[in-house]
Amino acid sequence: MKCLLDATSVKVLARAIHCLAKIGDELHIEPTENGLTLKTVNASKSAYSAFNFHLPFFLDFCHTSENTVQADPDEDTVIKCKLPMKSILSVFRSIGSLDKSVETCNITLPLLEALLIIEFKCKHGIIKHFNLRYFECESVEAEFCKSGYASKFSCSSRFYSETLLSFHSSTQEVTWSLAMDQVHLSNHIDDEVDPSKCVRTEVTLAKDEFVDFNVALCTQVTFCLKELRAILAFAEALKLDLDCRMEGAGQPVLFSLEKTDLYSADFLLATLTPALDSSATSSRTINNPKKNDVSTQSDASKHSSPVPILRNKADSRTASCANLQTTLMANVPESPCHTPRLNTLSLIEPQLFPAMEDNLDFEMQPPPPKRARARYIFQNCLKATQEVREIRCEVFAPDSEGDE
């Protein structure tokens, strides 16, 4: 793959990478005939994000990779790879400096080198060269249909950002309640939390505030706010409208944005299932886990709504473990009161001495105190330097008879 970008496109690409870095830890790069696709999935597989950069976005683009070892056009192929977010963020660290200094950017994926080569041509003839190690992998896809959602409404990203300012920064989940003429937002509070010790925030958005408003199903969905803030940070910087599609509780929410003929982005977020269904599911899991697996698969097959499944093209049989429809939100809050999983493991204390056989009558004596230890060491200084021992050996010089 080879692509060339101007200064404006580099800035947009850097913002997209920063947005994806707030969602996942790995960046998937997939060049296609129609452009370049950047994807990521969070650790709990409850959020999927994809940026599609079309051909007009680039000054020059070629999706195949040349064989740099042996120049053979028949061996050119398409490389799909992934690399850690930390490595790519080190290149696009400062968006402001990229906008002021970089003139063009050349990105290359050569064959048989396993390197992502990024070259910045800056002002005053300065060239910055970066080599990033990547890992080849198969494509990660989320199957969904935009036309299959019952409700769709769009609004400016700035309006969404101003609405979320009403919520505290520690708010992790937000509940969206859809009505025929309004959208009601409130922070989600677990049943275990004491209502007297938490703050309840509610915001109502009228129908007239939206650019497009089409709600066919009154429903209530709850999803994570972290990914939504990352989406709004990208959309607000570029002054883009954000489309939202919802189906119902337990069904994924789809956020999408688009810049005509240049790029588009889709963000698929999992939602919380209703409380009654989750409690019933947990009880069935405890009683009969095998039966619960069968019932979950049968229920998933009965849905006629869009079923976005996060899957790997290499092995589609593993799609059930990454089904975004049945995946709950990341229910591990980053709070000090939460008990991490490592605390549930039974730690085995290391043995100070190896295990001894039972037939040995040996008792380990505790070490002597410091004064006794010092007395034991220095008592050897008071002994004679030589000890008389009976040694049988030949005498060459006998003792004299008298003491004269």
Residue with tokens 């969602």: 23
Which position has the higher pLDDT, 339 or 149? 149
184 and 104 in one domain? no
Domain boundary among 270, 297, 318: 270
Range of the domain at 172: 151-270
Is the separation of the CB atoms in 309 and 287 below 8 Å?
A: no
Query: Is 180's pLDDT higher than 80?
Result: yes
Per-residue confidence (pLDDT) for residue 66, from 0 to 100? 63
Are 90 and 164 part of one and the same domain?
no
Claim to verify: residue 122 and residue 183 sit in the same structural domain: no
Q: Tokens representing 118?
A: 């990024």
**Average pLDDT of the segment spanning 317-333:** 37
Do residues 93 and 17 touch, judged by C-beta distance below 8 A?
no
Evaluate whether residue 385 is within a structural domain: no
**Last residue within a domain, chosen from 270, 295, 324:** 270
Mean of per-residue pLDDT scores for the chain: 74
Q: Which residue has the higher pLDDT, 118 or 345?
A: 118
Whether 292 contacts 284, CB under 8 Å? yes
Where do the H-state alpha helices sit in 109-224? 157-164
- How would DSSP label each residue in 236-271? HHTT-EEEEEE--TTSPEEEEEEETTTEEEEEEE--
Which pLDDT belongs to residue 383? 59
Are 44 and 97 contained in the same domain? yes
Q: Strand pairing partners for 77?
A: 65
Q: Which residue has the tokens 């730690």?
A: 347
Return the minimum-mean-pLDDT range out of 7-11, 65-69, 154-158, 234-238: 65-69
pLDDT in tens, 74-133: 445 778 889 999 999 999 988 888 888 999 999 998 877 788 999 999 998 999 999 999
Residue 199 scores a pLDDT above 80: yes
Residue 48: which pLDDT band, with cuts at 50, 70 and 90? very high
Is residue 257 located within the same domain as residue 164? yes
Backbone phi and psi for residue 5, each to the nearest 5 degrees, phi listed first: -125, 150
**241 and 121 share one domain:** no
For residues 126 and 15, membership in a common domain is answered with: yes
Residue 32 to residue 141: CA distance in whole angstroms: 14
Among 255, 270, 285, the domain-final residue is 270
For residues 134 and 113, the answer to whether their CB atoms sit within 8 Å is no
176 & 256 share domain: yes
d(CA 401, CA 403) in angstroms, rounded, equals 7
The whole-number pLDDT of residue 29 equals: 93
What one-character DSSP code corresponds to residue 191?
A: T
Coil, strand, or helix at residue 227?
A: helix
Strand-pairing partners, residue 61, are 3
Asked whether the whole model's pTM tops 0.85, one would answer: no
Does any domain span residue 283? no
| Three-state DSSP string of 40-94 | EECCCCCEEEEEEEEHHHCCEEECCECECCCCCHHHCECCCEEEEHHHHHCCCCC
Give the range with max mean pLDDT: 58-72, 228-242, 333-347: 228-242
Is 161 found in the same domain as 128? no
Residue 393 lies inside a defined structural domain of this protein = no
* pLDDT (tens digit per residue) in 249-293: 888 999 999 998 899 999 999 988 875 444 433 444 434 444 444
CB-based contacts of 181, cutoff 8 Å, min separation 6: 206, 207
Q: Among 181, 187, 231, which residue's Cα sits nearest to residue 206?
A: 181
In the predicted model, is pLDDT for residue 178 greater than 80?
Answer: yes
How many structural domains compose the chain?
Answer: 2
Same domain, 42 and 155: no
Asked whether residue 44 falls in the same domain as residue 19, the answer is yes
Tokens of 66: 């040349």
**Given pLDDT bands bounded at 50, 70 and 90, which one contains residue 63?**
confident
The reply to whether 341 falls in a domain is: no
